[in-house]
């Protein structure tokens, strides 16, 4: 199937304190934020350097660590503008100027914590507004995080919905309610919906063809899945050929075998089930060098016919017959199939992978043990 190209969905990784612990101003990377039971965790203060100890100076990084630890110990609702002012007076710096991006991340972590269950309560919304005021964040910054984290939450909820149930009208209504609660713009919702539905159908397709067999029931289920997702799957030439081959393999293994008519090279008492053109016929030969051993020598090339009685090859040099009763087993290789016989040399037949696969399936259907 031609997979609609969708951006990779990046799973959020555990996050807040990456900037607070490392003490380097962070960028607005909402994908690195993950909900935790406690959104903030206590971090050890940095020890003063040798010179800082002499001059009795505190490392500047401890200012943002103290703010992080205050949130971890007292909770989001306890912070106020005075909290930041007291820390700034102690360290003689501006938290906004020195650690502005860290303050933004504190807000993003709190927001993501409250979005863990998708829907926030009025109390939680109030806490967030008070936190934004205390951290001196403007409306543009908070709206940015609400949009980006809202999209991540909606995508996660959409994926979970598709993996849990069939996609129905009830599913659409549920997701519409989530979109409205997150205040997600229509264009953002539409983009996420198309991405997630397309990827879900693509994953379903890959699972369906994983065994390189496609039954009529599986194909019907795939079409129904595409219909329920409102997706018209467009197959590439490559996937069209794959589906055709995989349907054929399933049919050869499970349905009544169809005879190929008007094959003049075989006897009237025989039924031909497979014709492979342009095969190569190899036989083992002894290696006369000092190292000994054997090698596969190309003996001939031509057309192979498989009947209920034998493998018959019309070569350029001569014809070759291998009776099925004389075959012990057929060993499928990466480039062909080796026929192990009770007597005589064990030839290897080489052709394209599709033809070799069909030959192996049919030999098994005709009672030949295949390894």
**322: its two tokens:** 């291998």
CB environment 285-323: b (16+ within 10 A), e (fewer): eeeeeeeeeeeeeebbbbebbbbbbbbbbebeeeebebe
In the DSSP assignment, the letter for residue 143 is: H
Tokens of 131: 């936190």
Mean residue pLDDT of the chain comes to 87
pLDDT the model gives residue 173: 93
- Identify the bridge partners of residue 274 per DSSP, sorted by sequence position: 306
Q: How far apart are CA 131 and CA 17, in angstroms?
A: 17
For each successive 10 residues of the chain (371 residues), what is the average pLDDT? 29 33 40 59 83 71 94 93 95 95 96 90 93 96 96 95 88 93 95 95 94 96 93 88 96 96 88 97 86 88 97 96 95 92 95 96 87 51
Residues 134, 80 contacting (CB under 8 angstroms): yes
The strand ranges marked E within the chain are 272-286, 294-307, 310-315, 319-323, 327-332, 336-341, 348-350, 369-370
CA dihedral over 91, 97, 101, 104, signed as positive or negative: positive
CB-based contacts of 346, cutoff 8 Å, min separation 6:
283, 284, 338, 339, 340
Residues in Cβ contact with 232 at an 8 Å cutoff, skipping those fewer than 6 apart:
226
**What pLDDT is recorded for position 25?**
35
At residue 319, the 3 state secondary structure works out as: strand
pLDDT number for residue 166: 83
Tens of pLDDT, residues 65-114? 999 999 999 999 999 999 999 999 999 999 999 999 999 999 999 999 99
Nearest to 221 by CA among 204, 233, 234, 238: 204
Q: Alpha-carbon distance 29 to 139, whole Å?
A: 18
Return the exposure string of 152-175: e unless at least 16 CB atoms fall within 10 Å of the residue's CB, then b: bbbbbbbbebbeeeebeeebeeeb
CA nearest neighbour of 362 among 244, 273, 230: 273
What 3-state DSSP class applies to 35? coil
CB 274 within 8 A of CB 260: yes
The H or E element that residue 224 is part of is: helix 216-228
């Amino acid at each position: 199937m031609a997979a609609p190209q969708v951006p990779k969905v990046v799973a959020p990784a555990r996050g807040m304190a990456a900037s607070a612990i490392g003490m380097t101003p962070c960028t607005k990377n909402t994908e690195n934020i993950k909900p935790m039971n406690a959104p903030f965790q206590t971090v050890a203060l940095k020890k003063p350097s040798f010179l800082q100890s002499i001059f009795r100076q505190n490392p500047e990084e401890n200012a943002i660590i103290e703010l992080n630890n205050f949130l971890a110990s007292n909770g989001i609702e306890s912070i106020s503008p005075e909290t930041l002012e007291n820390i700034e007076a102690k360290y003689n710096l501006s938290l906004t100027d020195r650690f502005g991006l860290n303050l933004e991340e504190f807000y993003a972590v709190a927001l993501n914590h409250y979005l863990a269950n998708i829907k926030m309560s009025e109390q939680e919304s109030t806490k967030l507004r008070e936190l934004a005021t205390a951290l001196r964040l403007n409306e543009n910054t908070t709206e940015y995080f609400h949009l980006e984290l809202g999209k991540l939450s909606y995508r996660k909820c959409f994926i979970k919905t598709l993996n849990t149930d069939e996609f129905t009208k009830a599913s659409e209504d549920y997701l519409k309610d989530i979109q409205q609660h997150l205040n997600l713009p229509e264009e953002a919702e539409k983009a996420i919906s198309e991405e997630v539905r397309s990827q879900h159908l693509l994953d379903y397709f890959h699972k369906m063809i994983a065994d390189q067999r496609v039954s009529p029931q599986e194909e019907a289920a795939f079409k129904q899945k595409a219909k329920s997702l409102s997706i018209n799957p467009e197959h590439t030439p490559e996937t069209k050929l794959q589906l055709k081959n995989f349907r054929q393999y399933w049919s050869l293994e499970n349905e009544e075998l169809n005879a190929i008519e008007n094959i003049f090279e075989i006897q009237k008492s025989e039924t031909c089930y497979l014709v492979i053109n342009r095969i190569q016929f190899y036989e083992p030969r002894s290696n006369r060098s000092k190292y000994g051993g054997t090698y596969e020598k190309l003996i001939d090339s031509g057309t192979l016919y498989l009947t209920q009685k034998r493998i018959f090859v019309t070569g350029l040099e001569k014809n070759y017959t291998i009776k099925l009763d004389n075959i012990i087993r057929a060993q499928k290789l990466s480039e062909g199939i080796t026929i192990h016989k009770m007597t005589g040399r064990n030839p290897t037949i080489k052709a394209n992978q599709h033809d070799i696969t069909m030959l192996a399936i049919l030999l098994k259907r005709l009672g030949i043990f295949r390894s």
